[in-house]
Amino acid sequence: MESYFTERSNLFNEGWEFSCPGSCERYGCKEPNLHVSISLVDLAAISLTSGQKILDLFEKDCKVGFDPFEGQEPWLGRVSIELKKTCSFLDGKECSVYLGRPMA
């Protein structure tokens, strides 16, 4: 399983040109109004990387979110799992679960 998540992270990094500059204040990791949806695979990757149980991560670091569909009634949307803010995996300006971070 660990090799899968390592390869997943490597493939993600190869195809992605984004990286946070050193001056970044980690807005995406801190701002409560910026929602970061995660999948169950993301949660498993964070679990493996952090050494924490998935259920413990879900209870401590996640919340259920709701994203309304654009241009639709406000009650139509998608229920999602989101990371709580400020992200508990932010260690100074570094992500402590970088290899298992959510792909969002």
Domain assignment present for 96: yes
Neighbours of 28 (CB within 10 A): 15
| C-beta of residue 61 within 8 angstroms of C-beta of residue 83 | yes
Instruction: Please report, to the nearest 10 degrees, the dihedral formed by the alpha carbons of residues 52, 2, 24, 67 taken in order.
Output: -70
Domain assignment present for 19: no
Note the pLDDT tens digit of each residue in 46-81.
998 899 999 999 999 999 988 888 898 888 988 889
Which conformational region is residue 26 in: left (phi greater than 0), alpha (psi within -120 to 50 degrees), or beta? left
CA torsion sign for 25, 26, 30, 36 is positive
User: Looking at residue 16, what is its pLDDT?
Assistant: 59
Domain assignment present for 77: yes
CA distance 55 to 44: 10
Domain ranges, residue 51: 2-13+27-100
% of the chain surpassing 70 pLDDT: 88
User: Looking at residue 58, what is its pLDDT?
Assistant: 92
When divided into structural domains, the chain yields a total of 1
Neighbours of 83 (CB within 10 A): 25
Q: Evaluate if residue 14 carries a pLDDT over 70.
A: no
